[in-house]
Amino acid sequence: MRVAIIGQKWLAAELLKRCLAEGHQVVIAIAPALGADGEYDRLYAVAQQHSVPADCTQGRLSADQVPACDVILTAHAHVYIKEDVRAKAVHGALGYHPSLLPRHRGRDAVHWAVHMREPVTGGSVYWLDDGTDTGLVLAQDWCHVRPDDTPQVLWRRELAPMGLRLFSQALAMLDAGVDCKGRPQDPALATWEPGVSNRRLSG
């Protein structure tokens, strides 16, 4: 499949490598602009290492930056994917959210799962729409939260690798031509929490 990847850090970089290993064509990798230290994000660096076209965002993403493709994948992407961007892909755009949507919508789902001492959490790959983490859910998985977990430990041990597996599962479904519409989120179960400062989910 022709895939565009938008995101940053470990998850996006590993997703690019996994897509290539699974035989997909990555038509573009779009990462944040240069950091304050003058360094490129991991996604950008890995794209260059694998001769994949790469671009950077400047806080906004233009549809002109995304070539025509089969699907857009967003991994640890903190940029709004507008409708005209999603329209560049035949199937639309898939995102990964580290919670069992519709629970813990928002930027810091892992923090809130640990803070609320939940025994179980998980991850969701879902179709992006105009809302915040509100789209149809295509694939989910769950994991235990250990009593001594921190958000960073839980992310690295369980939720980041889970995101890669769920993206692979979703791409396999699309490649096989099966019904990939996903299922609606139950609004009665939805929660949303605000972002927290000093996040260290460096992924």
- DSSP string of 45-109? HHHHHTT--EEEESSS--GGGS--BSEEEEES--S---HHHHTTBSS-EEEEESSSTTTTBSTTH
pLDDT digits (tens, 9 = 90+) for 67-100: 999 999 999 998 899 999 999 999 999 999 999 9
pLDDT above 70: residue 173 = yes
- Alpha carbons 158 and 80: distance in angstroms, whole number: 26
Mean pLDDT, to the nearest integer, of 154-174? 98
pLDDT above 70: residue 35 = no
Q: What is the pLDDT of residue 198?
A: 53
Strands ordered across the beta sheet of 2-7: 54-57, 25-32, 2-7, 71-75, 93-97, 120-127, 137-144
pLDDT above 90: residue 59 = no
Q: What is the pLDDT of residue 39?
A: 80
pLDDT digits (tens, 9 = 90+) for 117-146: 999 999 999 999 999 999 999 999 999 999
pLDDT above 70: residue 162 = yes
Q: Is 30 helix (H, G, I), strand (E, B) or coil?
A: strand
Q: What is the pLDDT of residue 203?
A: 47
Structure tokens at 59: 């806080």
- At residue 202 the predicted structure's pLDDT band, cuts being 50, 70 and 90, is very low
Instruction: Identify how many contiguous H helices and E strands the chain contains and give both numbers.
Output: 6, 7
- Alpha carbons 80 and 6: distance in angstroms, whole number: 10
pLDDT above 60: residue 201 = no
> What percentage of the chain exceeds 70 in pLDDT?
95
Q: Which fold has domain 2-97+123-142+156-189?
A: Rossmann fold (3.40.50)
Q: What is the pLDDT of residue 57?
A: 86
Domain borders along the chain are 2-97+123-142+156-189
Q: Tell me how far the alpha carbon of residue 70 is from its chain's centroid.
A: 16
